[in-house]
Amino acid sequence: MSQKKIKAVLFDMDGVLFNSMPYHSEAWHNVMKSHGLTLSREEAYMHEGRTGAATINIVFQRELGREATQEEIESIYQEKSVLFNSYTEAERMPGAWELLQKIKNEGLVPMVVTGSGQLSLLERLEHNFPGMFHKELMVTAFDVKYGKPNPEPYLMALKKGRLKADEAVVIENAPLGVEAGHKAGIFTIAVNTGPLDGQVLLDSGADLLFPSMQALCNEWDNCLIHLDSI
């Protein structure tokens, strides 16, 4: 890394650090169904990165023609969280730990930028990725007003890390997250760990696309060379 001054790597959590999206999509689908509403598992992937409230409101506006009340939002999100936590614990995404070790060894700062308010996963970050992340540098659903695809979460991460946009790299698996990173002016790498067509991620503004976290880990040095040449 000769010319570039990359200082930090901003990681989304679900579908990047944890293989948790299949459980999120299942929980969203089932909870909405129990309320007589429709949210397919695949659509849940399209909304990944939004706050829970934003996802609930999209479904309410589409199917009921109105915004959900604060009580409805809290109740449905609570039901979704209980269901999500009843599933088997999501495993660490293959390749994520190895990539984090490379990043740490290069003297870069790894940060988490997630639309999730799922406390079970947030609490497991230290357990599954010991010593990698600092709580004061995390951006979660509890910190943001707008959430992805608004660039707010990534702009907030830059502020917390005292970084300029060209001093960071974003790693995302969700179209809305890629869009948020791109809008924040940060070089954004997409990993297609879900069922969506990879083109969707490129169309959302991804600068590079990999089929998995393991593939990104294997090619990380080449990514840094690519960044150097920009």
Domain boundaries, the chain: 8-19+91-228, 21-86
Whose tokens are 């996802």? That residue is 55
Could you list the pLDDT tens digit for every one of the 230 residues in the chain?
A: 334 689 999 999 999 999 999 999 999 999 999 999 999 999 999 888 888 899 999 999 999 999 999 999 999 999 999 999 899 888 999 999 999 999 999 999 999 998 877 677 778 898 999 999 998 999 988 888 888 999 999 999 999 999 999 999 999 999 999 999 999 999 999 999 998 899 999 999 999 999 999 999 999 998 888 887 77
Identify the pLDDT of residue 4. 61
Write down the CATH number for the domain with range 8-19+91-228.
Answer: 3.40.50.1000
Are 168 and 124 spatial neighbours (Cβ–Cβ below 8 Å)?
no
Identify the pLDDT of residue 5. 84
Write down the CATH number for the domain with range 21-86.
Answer: 1.10.150.240
